[in-house]
Structure formats: C-alpha cells, structure tokens
Amino acid sequence: MKRKSLFALSAVVVVAAAALVPVLWSGGDHLHNGTAMAATPADQAALIKQGEYLARAGDCIACHTVRGGKQFAGGLPMATPFGTMFTPNITPDDQYGIGKWTQDDFYRAMHTGRSKDGSLLYPGFPFTSYTKVTRADSDAIYAYLRSVTPVNVPSRPHELKFPFNQRNMLIGWRTLFFREGEYKPDPTKSVEWNRGAYLIEGLGHCGMCHTSINAMGGPVSSAAFAGGLIPLQNWYAPSLTSNKEAGLGDWETKDIADLLKTGVSNRGAVFGPMAEVVHNSLQYMSDADINAMATYLKTIPQKSEAPEPLQLETSEKFGGELLKQGQKIYADNCAKCHAENGLGMPPAFPPLANNQSIQMPSAVNPIRMVLNGGYPPSTDANPHPFGMPPFAQALSNQEVAAVVTYIRMSWGNHGTAVSPQQVSDLRSAPLD
C-alpha cells in the first residue's frame, strides 16, 4: 500500500489528464487567519498532535519531502510520459507555502480536489481517496501542517508537455472517476472494521497502487485492490483479492498486523515501495488502528483468479534448462538464508516455498529483489532488519532468470519460467 503515492508516489496515475502531481498549494499566513483553533492551548496542542498522527497515516511526508531536504518543502520530481511534475511546498510559509490557506481551503482541497483559488488539482494528489476524510480529521492535519517550520522555498514549476499542462482537461476525468463524499460507516460491520475501512480507503489511499488503471488513467472499479504495475517505480503492487497473490483471506490477522506494523511477519516481508510506506507511515500507527486495518483487509472479498499482467514467457524446453541452471545458482547463493527446502528462517529470512509473491503471474518483484536486493523497513519493533544482497553485478541476465525460475517452480510453487529479456528490461529500468 503506497504510497510514495505509492506509498505513495501515486505512481499509478499516469495518463494525460491524470499526470502525477500532489496538490498545488499556494500562499501563506501562519496560525492566525482561519486556523483550526481549539479552546485552550492544551486543546490546540492535542489537535496538532492528532494532526501529526493523521499526516503519518496519510504518508504526506513521502511526496512532500525530498531525501535530505527540509520537511514538507516539496520539490520531489516525478517523471511521467507527459513531462516532469514537482511536488509542492506545504509548509506554513507566507510566500510559498500554505500560510494563507484557511482550514476551509484545506478541507476543500482534501474533499473536492480544488485548490485555494478554485483550480482543479491533478489526481496524483489522492483527493479521490482523501475525499473520504472527515472534516474533523482534515482540520487536525491542517493544524499540524501550520505548526511545522516554514520553509521559504518556491515550488518548482512543472515541466509538462501541451496539452497536459491544461488543467481544464481534468473536468472530463473527474466526471468519470471522482465521487466526492466522506466515508459512511457500514452499520452491519463492527466499529473496528469501519475504522480499518476508513484508514485503508481514505487516508491510506492503498487502492492507488493496488488497483489497476485503464487507458484514461482512471481506476478500474471492477478491479479494486486487484493489483497493478507501478510504472514509474518498476514494482508490481500485488492483488489483495486473490490468495494466488497477496490475498489475505487465509492469513491470520496477527500476521497481517505484524507485516503492516513492522514490515516482517511469519508469512513474509515487505520490500520496495511498501517498505517505504511501513517506514514512513504504518510503524507510527497505534496497535488499535493497525489491528483495525488488518481486520478490514482480511475481509476484502477474494476472487478465484488473480489478474494476468503481461509476462514474458519462455519455451517449455528453455524453461526446463533455466530450472536446472537455477537449482545450482540457488544452492550456491541463496540456500544459506532461505534453506535448501525454501522454508527460510522467518521472520528474518522469509520463506520462498508457498510464498504468493514468488508465484504471482508477474515476476517483476522477485526479479527486482535478485537484481537490486533491499531491506525491509527499519522500525521500532524491528530496528535491525536482515537484508537481501544485490546480485546484479554477480549474475548475468540468464542466471538471474534461472534462479528466479527455480524459486517460482520449486517446493510446490506454481509459478512459471521467466525470460532473460525481462531481466534485461528491469536491469536497465530506474529503481524508483
């Protein structure tokens, strides 16, 4: 669930009318005009603290802070086929931030996807999910953002090609794909379930990565949470609706909660964009909210079949050769951590046998892991995670294809052989 909106980078919204960009904030006037004021200083402090928590839940920092830069000062570049977007400054700076925004302006952006001046916001800012956020929670986030240190840095202008720089094009997209409205609790479900649904569907905006998009860049409503490729990050967000991928129907609620909170569980570990979500956002959430999210995720209706993303295939004969070659490569490089029988040593070294993420129709993620390695997120509950070393320099494209083929087809796994060409394509792709 990402959010680098992915995780959050919101990288799944990649068509003309939906080119990636978080909300374009403007102008500033600190904690005076229009601020969400509480009755006493203590109440205001509590409101700000609550807003900080909710901003974590929404993973706002992921898009609005450049690595090594000032917090919430924006400037994160997002390269798209339509040009490059740059995330905006949302600090309470009078000149370049949100200082002159009132809490009504802020809520309008969250709820309707319109800026302070009424202009339409690009749906890379996940207002299609944030519209579900309550006014009280929006006011709390606003109060928190008004309390952070102002940064007097202008937002960098986007470098979009014509006609994608014409905001009025968004009218048609919004008509087709945006439904305004706060989350309405389901009276037939528990309080815990409803809280989880509110966080997953609203602030968490998990569907932005885990839902496929159509040719217009809009979410496929019939494929909600059914998985999708995150193009600009070159990772695959697996289906949450199929036990053949990351479907959680047969997971214990505790394993789901552990994965969300710490990045590791007895069923596996998170890497790539999802690791960033856990690091930036989920590890800071309360146990009650994590359990609520796990409760909701476990009840997402499961489908018999996973989606079939494009997968380069090999002939049966060549696949057999790769499988044989991969067995030796695995024994030499992988068995020490993941064991000869593929059962690993969880949670430090996740199992590969009966691991849905290994067997998915899409082999993007296991190829990326073998090539580039990585770590689960460092969290309070798992401060020193065990990592996966990169093998891009040590193994050729065919050798990577061979070992990935081996782990996808061994120990009862039902994956298919992968092509060295796909390894080559991912080797040359940017990491994020």
pLDDT tens, 232-274?
556 777 777 776 665 576 788 999 999 999 988 887 788 878 8
38 — pLDDT class (breaks 50, 70, 90): low
Top mean pLDDT of 82-96, 207-221, 302-316 is at: 82-96
| 3 state DSSP class of 79 | strand
Alpha carbons 414 and 361: distance in angstroms, whole number: 9
Alpha carbons 268 and 346: distance in angstroms, whole number: 7
For the cut 70, the answer to whether the pLDDT of residue 29 exceeds it is no
Residue 375 makes CB contacts below 8 A (sequence gap 6+) with 271, 275, 385, 386, 387, 388
List the one residue out of 427, 432, 386, 384 whose CA is nearest residue 404: 427
CB 100, CB 86: distance < 8 Å: no
Average pLDDT score over residue span 63-73: 92
| Tokens at 390, concatenated | 């990169």
Q: Residue holding tokens 């374009």?
A: 24
pLDDT on residue 31: 39
Q: What is the CATH number of domain 316-427?
A: 1.10.760.10
Alpha carbons 92 and 379: distance in angstroms, whole number: 29
- Angle among Cα 31, 7, 127 to the nearest 5 degrees reads 55
- Return the higher-pLDDT residue of 80 and 35: 80
For the cut 90, the answer to whether the pLDDT of residue 324 exceeds it is yes
- The DSSP call for residue 121 is P
Average pLDDT score over residue span 222-231: 64
pLDDT on residue 228: 65
CB 99, CB 92: distance < 8 Å: yes
Which residues is 6 bridged to in the sheet?
3
Within 10 angstroms of residue 192's Cβ, the number of other Cβ atoms is: 16
For the cut 90, the answer to whether the pLDDT of residue 40 exceeds it is no
The CA distances from residue 349 to 134, 183, 228, 273, in Å, are: 40, 39, 26, 19
- The DSSP call for residue 419 is -
What confidence tens digit (pLDDT) does each residue in 233-244 have? 567 777 777 766
Domains of the chain, by residue range, sit at 3-177, 203-298, 316-427
| Tokens at 80, concatenated | 């798209």
The CA distances from residue 216 to 17, 220, 225, 233, 263, in Å, are: 8, 10, 18, 19, 33
Q: Quick check: pTM over 0.85?
A: no
What confidence tens digit (pLDDT) does each residue in 327-357 have? 999 999 999 999 999 999 888 888 999 888 8
Instruction: Please count the helices (runs of H) and the strands (runs of E) in the chain.
Output: 17, 8
- Return the higher-pLDDT residue of 246 and 306: 246
Alpha carbons 27 and 91: distance in angstroms, whole number: 10
What confidence tens digit (pLDDT) does each residue in 69-121 have? 999 999 988 776 677 878 899 999 999 999 999 999 999 999 999 999 999 98
What confidence tens digit (pLDDT) does each residue in 371-423 have? 988 888 888 888 888 888 999 999 999 999 999 999 999 999 988 999 888 88
What confidence tens digit (pLDDT) does each residue in 159-190 have? 878 877 888 888 887 888 899 999 999 999 99
